[in-house]
Amino acid sequence: GNSVTQMEGPVTLSEEAFLTINCTYTATGYPSLFWYVQYPGEGLQLLLKATKADDKGSNKGFEATYRKETTSFHLEKGSVQVSDSAVYFCALSDQGSARQLTFGSGTQLTVLP
């Protein structure tokens, strides 16, 4: 079956530090890959996505590249802000459909001023 493995948190960084949150996956076929973000007290929202190998998703300064050879989709940001403090979820879908989303366990990020 499909699975998503994320680096365990919590992750604590100082403002303007470089962020990487690792995500690897196991799937049959060619899944679409997603990063969702959950800010405190809110539901999840889509941060970025990539639908095929070598695609790069980007949004709000975050980036992730779909690497088929390493089955990875690591999330990066060059300079984090306090407002980026949230829980980040990596997810995959076999057919790009929200119905078949498989979520990782989430990584808590705290950015200190």
Partner 1 sequence: DTAVSQTPKYLVTQMGNDKSIKCEQNLGHDTMYWYKQDSKKFLKIMFSYNNKELIINETVPNRFSPKSPDKAHLNLHINSLELGDSAVYFCASSQDTTGELFFGEGSRLTVL
Residues that bind partner 1 (CB under 8 A): 32, 34, 36, 38, 41-46, 49, 87, 89, 93, 96-99, 101, 103, 105-106, 108
Q: Which is nearer to partner 1, 19 or 32 (CB)?
A: 32
Q: How far apart are the first and last CA of the chain?
A: 41
- Collapsing DSSP states into helix, strand and coil, what is residue 64? strand
Q: Which is nearer to partner 1, 26 or 79 (CB)?
A: 26
Q: Is 29 exposed, middle or buried (0-12, 13-18, 19+ CB in 10 A)?
A: exposed
* Smallest distance, partner 1 to C-beta of residue 18, A: 23
Q: Which is nearer to partner 1, 82 or 98 (CB)?
A: 98
* Smallest distance, partner 1 to C-beta of residue 79, A: 25
CA distance 75 to 112: 19
* Smallest distance, partner 1 to C-beta of residue 58, A: 16
CA distance 88 to 105: 9
* Smallest distance, partner 1 to C-beta of residue 48, A: 11
CB 17 within 8 A of CB 79: yes
